[in-house]
Each structure stands twice: as structure tokens, then as C-alpha cells.
Amino acid sequence: MKLLVEEQVEVKMGQPLAFIESTGRHLDVMLLVDRLNELRLHVESGQPLVKNLSAGNDLMLGELQASYQSFYQSYLQYLNTQLGGLYAAQKNYLELDLLEIKKLEAQLYEQKKIQEQEFANVEEEYQAYRKLRSKNVISNNEFKQQENKYLSSKYPLQQNAIALLNNNSSLLAKQKEVATLNNTIREEQARFIQALNAMQTETSAWIKKYVVLAPLAGKVGYAGIIQESQNVFENQQLFIVNPGSVNFFGEVHIPQYNMGKIKLGQRTLVKLRSFPFEEYGIIDGKISYISDVAFRDSVFVAKIDFLKIEQKNIENPIVLKQGMVADAEIITQKSSLLQRFLQSISKMLNSK
């Protein structure tokens, strides 16, 4: 274990207090956590993503290394969906192709109008020749020549119709490519969100396991004898952070056979074991909460709000600290006798 703070030092909420030994480098993992949080903000706000992650060769992430490599691949794919990325470039080219196809379509329709007008003129001339032929005004050969001219005038319109069909097919094909690409972009973005969630979950679990963080702001103290490079056990209490400026309350454990006598609002006298009441005084409180369900071995929990601290020794007053143990004497409604729960009281004081 590597200690990061000394006793009686003011710390902020979430500040690292100690590093537990790991194959990963703690500062590298914490740097990764910050970068992942930045990525989260960019993604949720819709801001363009900038490349702020490395391949991980410069990071010692320990057991997170394999997960990070997998996440990094998803990250690169996500970058391809952003402005300037591969997918974005492909989409830009496809949109330019669509624009050209639509321009060609407009030209074909303009061409069609001209060809239709030309065909109408040739058809009108052909009908006139048919009348002349019916009256034998012109020869059959002359009429056939005009008829061939009329039939030939249909060909450009037919070619134009084929060109419009082909152009429409190209348009549909490009639109399909754009739709497929958009779907790929959405899938890659969704995969990245999933990968980001998983990576943040893993890094949070790693931090919880290997980094001791201050649960709140206050003055830090060691929970016993703590030394550099000391071996520690899982769930071992290492530090106590005293917020200093907050109110304290008491937690009392009540056996089931006493529950019928305990009610909300009952006056409670608290005698701290570290401050003998004969010399230092007592704390006057009241019951403000009683648990509905037993938390262990038919034992219920009640909360005692501290109303007043009697200070008998002005020069050495009672100073409350988190984790102190005391005896609680609850005054019931039926009598003035004090009910003692000496054998079941533990961890009497907690900070709000």
C-alpha cells in the first residue's frame, strides 16, 4: 500500500488517500478515467470527437489492458463516423454522386422536352405527307422517305427514356448505399456507447479495488496503525474522515425483546465511553428513527439525534468523532427508569 496523505490533513471528497498494490499503474488508470469521462461528455452533448486516446502502449493498465485494447478498436471505429473520418468521407462522396445523378436527370428531362417538340414537328409533317399521298399528289417513294424520317424521330425519345430509367436505377442504388452507410454509422456509434459503458464500469471497479478515495470532505485520520507498504485485507478500515462542521447522531442496536418499549421521540441519554459522564457530562438526545426490519440476529437499529451536549469540564470539553462508542439510556413513556443496551451497542457515532 502507498499512502498519499498524512493524518490530520484536510482532504476533498473523492481525493485519493492510498493506492493498493496492483499490476497496473494507478495514475495511468486514473488518467484513463478522466479521458473516458471527457469522451462521455462529448458523446452525450453531440460535440465532435477529437482523438484524445492513445493505443495504450504508454499506459500500464494491468488487468485492464486487454479490455482497453478492445475498447480502443471500438473507439477508432467511432472516430470513423465523425467529421473527417472514413465513413464521413464515404458519405460525402456518395452525396456528391447523388448530386451529379440528379443534375443528369434534370438534363435528360430538358433533352426530352426538346426531343418531344422535334418529334411533334416531324409527326405533323408526316401527317401532311399522308394526306398528299392519299390524293396521289406525291409519289410512293417520296412518302416512304418521309415515313422513314418520322420513324427515325422516335428513336431519340426511346433512347432518352432508357437513359432516364438507367439514371433512376443509379439514383436508387446510391440512395441504398447512403442508407446502408448511415445504418453502419449508427451501429458503430451504438457499439462504441456499449464499449464505453463497459470500459467505465471496469475502470470504476478497478478504482474501487485499488484506490482508497475520501468518501467526503474533511480531516483525515488513520484507523489504527497504518504504514507505507503495509499489507491490508479486503474491507479493512484504513481511514476515518471527520467532516468537522456537520452534526453527529447516534446509532443504537436494539434487541427484539426490547422493541415494544421503544418509540419515536423518546428522550435518550448518551454516555460516551471515552468521556466518562461523571467527569465530562452526557449528551441529551431523542429517538428519530427506528428500522422496520431487523438487520442482524433479530436486532433493530434506531437513530438518536443529539439535542444538547452537557459539558462538565470546560477546559477539556467533549469532542465528537466518527466511530466513537457510547452507552444509550432510553427513557420510556411508562416509567422513568433508564433502559440500558450495553451488550448490543456498537459504532455509536456516525456523521450525517
Residue-by-residue pLDDT tens, the chain, 352 positions? 788 888 878 888 888 888 888 888 889 899 889 889 888 888 887 776 666 677 767 778 888 888 988 898 888 888 888 777 788 888 888 889 889 889 988 988 988 898 888 888 888 888 888 888 888 888 888 888 888 988 888 888 888 889 889 989 888 888 888 888 888 888 888 888 899 999 999 999 999 888 888 888 888 877 777 777 777 777 777 777 777 655 678 888 888 877 778 888 888 999 988 888 888 888 999 988 888 887 777 788 888 988 888 888 877 788 777 778 898 888 875 444 334 443 334 445 454 4
* Backbone torsions φ then ψ of 302, nearest 5 degrees: -125, 150
Report yes or no on whether pTM surpasses 0.85.
Answer: no
The CATH number of 250-350 is 2.40.30.170
Beta bridge partner(s), residue 331: 338
Fold match, 25-216 / 250-350: no
Terminal CA-CA length for the chain: 29
User: For the domain bounded by 25-216, which CATH number is listed?
Assistant: 1.10.287
Q: CA-CA distance, 226 to 109, in Å (whole number)?
A: 86
Domain ranges for the chain, please list them: 25-216, 250-350
CA distances from 155 to 113, 144, 152, 166, 347 (A): 14, 17, 6, 17, 99
Closest by CA position to 266, among listed 350, 339, 351, 347:
339
Angle, alpha carbons 111-117-122 (nearest 5°): 125
Other CB atoms within 10 Å distance of the CB of residue 345 = 19
